[in-house]
């Protein structure tokens, strides 16, 4: 009796790419990951033109570096994979890292 929770978020590298998270609602990482994905979508960072771009801007005054943007994208992807694999602690650690960076980039 597995129900799937699908969260899709746009992560831009050379355009918009989508990643789907399939996790059981009982997973401790599912709700925090979905919340992070919702926040990421709301911020809507513009993709960096180059990886070491000095600043990447999003809505509501969010601003981060191209390097931090790429790092957050990879951490969200890895958190999704960890959550799917049942590695809740690893996924929650990655989610926390991204949330910390997002709070530092708030305008």
Under 8 Å between Cβ of 56 and 46: yes
Nearest CA among 2, 6, 21 for reference residue 81: 21
The residue whose two tokens read 């910390």 is: 100
What pLDDT score was predicted for residue 25? 61
Nearest to 75 by CA among 53, 98, 58, 52: 98
Range of the domain at 90: 5-105
Q: What is the pLDDT of residue 60?
A: 93
Provide the domain count of the chain: 1
Least confident piece of the model among 19-23, 37-41, 45-49, 96-100? 19-23
* pLDDT digits 0-9 by tens, 75-84: 999 999 999 9
Query: How much is the pLDDT for 76?
Result: 97
């Amino acid at each position: 009796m597995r129900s799937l929770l699908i969260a899709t978020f746009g992560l831009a590298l050379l355009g918009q790419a989508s990643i789907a998270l399939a996790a059981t609602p009982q997973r401790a990482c599912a709700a925090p990951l979905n919340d992070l994905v919702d926040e990421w979508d709301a911020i809507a960072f513009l993709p960096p033109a180059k990886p070491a771009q000095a600043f990447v801007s999003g809505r509501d005054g969010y601003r981060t570096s191209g390097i931090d943007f790429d790092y957050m994208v990879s951490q969200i992807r890895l958190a999704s994979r960890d959550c799917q694999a049942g590695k809740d602690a690893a996924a929650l650690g990655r989610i926390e890292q991204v949330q910390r960076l997002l709070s530092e980039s708030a305008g």
